[in-house]
Structure 1
């Protein structure tokens, strides 16, 4: 893996962190200036880039890869007010523009799927492909109690010790007050309506055992986006940590990017 380099970037009036793994240019290669689009990874509520590290590493073997810690998450300064989904999307777009990354495949996990949808709506010309991993919030389960129950089931029965350790240690760092403020934002965002306004092709990825992003919900989102659904067997909500190789393959194949293919994830594609 190309070791990520952290940059502290202020964009859209807020401060966040971007972790970049860029491939070195090949001397004398005329295609260096015509690189494939980069892949940008965005975390969900309460967490950070840390649970994206395995996926970041798998993707960085083939393409320029960036992971973002949004303002108020991970080790970034907390804004003086809760940001709506649109503001996080503006941060993603502004931060990547400052890094000179003008077009990219945008990948969001959980609440990060909402940020990805919104960024693709704001500047569709910059985002040729959108990938939503374990997207929220299921329109048939729109209460906090239902979401909490699903998350509890996931952590107890379908996650690995390492994924639980990453997620819950980040939750502690986030703190209950900031988490709950952002939870309200997450619950109010109409994912199923906004996804229909995304012009780019959309891939929805879920762990086959994920109780948070159900098969029915993910299938409905894919249909509204005229997208595709990929189910990764043997894992739950934090699919990108527990099955990083399969998820990386699904993303690269979907976006037509170079990479090593095993065929495991591709067999899971559904129209």
Structure 2
């Protein structure tokens, strides 16, 4: 399978990059084994990061469905906006970019702060997002200070991440730069995920690494419970960057959640709660 195609996409007044791969079903003109038509899936990174720590998951998902990863405006190698953007503005960019690419409906998957962007997009245009996946969601309202979040992230990096996940995250943080990171951090800390999730009509799957101190077990369970149709999956043996360190398990969870179990061909790892 060839790598994803990078496209510069201008939407909602801002410029980002979209990395697109066509799935097996699209290339074959149908689905395997007469199964249901596979929807597209869109992957959204978190604060300071980029599509790079989503590449393993992207590559695996692209074996079954059209897959898109987005570098949001101001992150990765994209141009930095002239001002700080709100969560709602990032959500409008995601929806607008997919509009431009002719993708009307898609499973939306966010990681860390990307779960806020994904939640907001599902609120803005609920008819376009049949399934919402939140990996390592933020911010736990019981730990809504920068110091508490920094401590949790530090513990995660020191004890629960792989060298490759740390390398990807920290090099992206350097590209992002401290000024833009801090400006965006304020936006992240103020977004009330626990309130917003109650308005989402799509089924919601919350995924966390079982060792994740950022999205801890109690917070993740509460968030799944606040959703109208929420589920929690804990993936053993990893921390916050679950989609990189346990990409196969996360891929299988997304496919099963989207009703594509037949395309997976193996037992779903992890412990559904």
| Residue pair 1:56, 1:65 contacting (<8 A) in 2 also | yes
How far apart are the structure 2 equivalents of 1:30 and 1:247? Answer: 21
Count of residue pairs brought into register by the alignment: 267
In the other structure, the counterpart of 1:6 is 6
Tell me how far 1:30 sits from its aligned partner: 9.5
Give the unaligned 5+ runs of structure 1: none
Deviations 1:31-70 (A, max 9, x none): 99x8421010000000100000000011111111000000
CA distance in 2, matches of 1:79, 1:202: 30
1:239 deviates by 0.2
- For the residues of structure 2 that align with 1:101 and 1:60, how far apart are their CA atoms? 15
TM-score by length of structure 2 reads 0.95
Residue in 1 aligned with 2:241? 238
Task: Give distance in 2, aligned partners of 1:71 and 1:6.
Answer: 14
Native 8 Å contact 2:113 2:137 kept in 1: yes
Aligned to 1:122: 124
Q: Which residue of 2 aligns with 1:44?
A: 46
CA distance in 1, matches of 2:170, 2:234: 25
Counterpart of 2:93 in structure 1 is: 91
Q: Which runs of 5+ in 2 are unaligned?
A: none
In the alignment, the residues of structure 2 paired with residue 262 and residue 153 of structure 1 have an alpha-carbon distance, to the nearest angstrom, of: 33
Over aligned residues, Cα RMSD in angstroms?
1.6
Cα deviation digits, residues 85-108 of structure 1 (max 9, x gap)? 000000000000110100000000
* 8 Å Cα contact 1:127/1:200 also seen in 2: yes
Aligned equivalents of 2:244, 2:31: Cα separation in 1 = 35
TM-score of the aligned structures, taking structure 1 as reference length: 0.95
Poorly superposed stretches of 4+, deviation over 3 Å:
29-32
Structure 1 residue aligned with 2:16? 16
Return the offset for 1:150.
0.2
